[in-house]
Amino acid sequence: MTTHEIEVAGEHLTLHSERAIYWHAQRMLLVSDVHFGKGAVFRRAGIAVPSGDTDDDLARLDGLIAAFAPATIVVLGDLVHGAATERSVWVERVRQWRQAHADIAIILVAGNHDRHFDVRLLGIDVRPDRLLVPPFVLAHHPEAHGDGYTLSGHVHPGVVVRDGWRKHRLPAFVFDREVAMLPAFGTLTGLHETPAKPGRRIVAVTPAGLLPVMV
């Protein structure tokens, strides 16, 4: 299944296998850790990675926009990966994409990588620390806040799922008592294993769709 319905802090959220959350009450699409330009950074460093990661990720965002018709997109940090100029290929590609979706409000809650490039040049609004939209605190770092339940990124959470004798390391949505972590959205992002434990809800992103992980 490509979607999974969940209730968090009294709100109905839809998890999507493209590693995004849709918040129905606010018509808000949430993604985290896109890391635009990561492939370019690797290639400048002499690391052979294929090009096209930016186009792939923009196409996935287009698919989510077509599925949900959000009024707002919030990126929970690390929209970009490293330094770039306005002439960088990925910058122009993202700028064109932003102009094509001028009717959608797009907000970045700045993450640690976002210091490398001013995304306001792309027509994207920036919040330097967190964004309070009750009952949620939208943030990059997975820290509890007294103002509400935190939806965050940063960690690139993943989980190991066993299929007989095989083990699969998969991106995952992780929901704890006060904080949730979204899987990294970007194509070229790794993951950090986040173990299951009592009280923690985990939904793994598999090639076949979403899979709730039982503790």
Taking only the tens place, the pLDDT of each residue in 124-156 is 999 988 999 999 999 999 999 999 999 999 999
Domain span including residue 29: 3-213
What was the pLDDT predicted at 88? 66
Q: Is 105 exposed, middle or buried (0-12, 13-18, 19+ CB in 10 A)?
A: middle
Which candidate, 65, 40, 64, 62, places its Cα nearest to that of 52? 40
Distance separating alpha carbons of residues 38 and 189, to the nearest angstrom: 9
The number of domains in the chain is 1
For residue 42, the domain's CATH number is 3.60.21
Give mean pLDDT, residues 154-180.
89
> Which structure tokens are listed for 215?
């503790």
Query: SS3 of 102, please?
Result: coil
Taking only the tens place, the pLDDT of each residue in 10-25 is 999 999 999 999 999 9
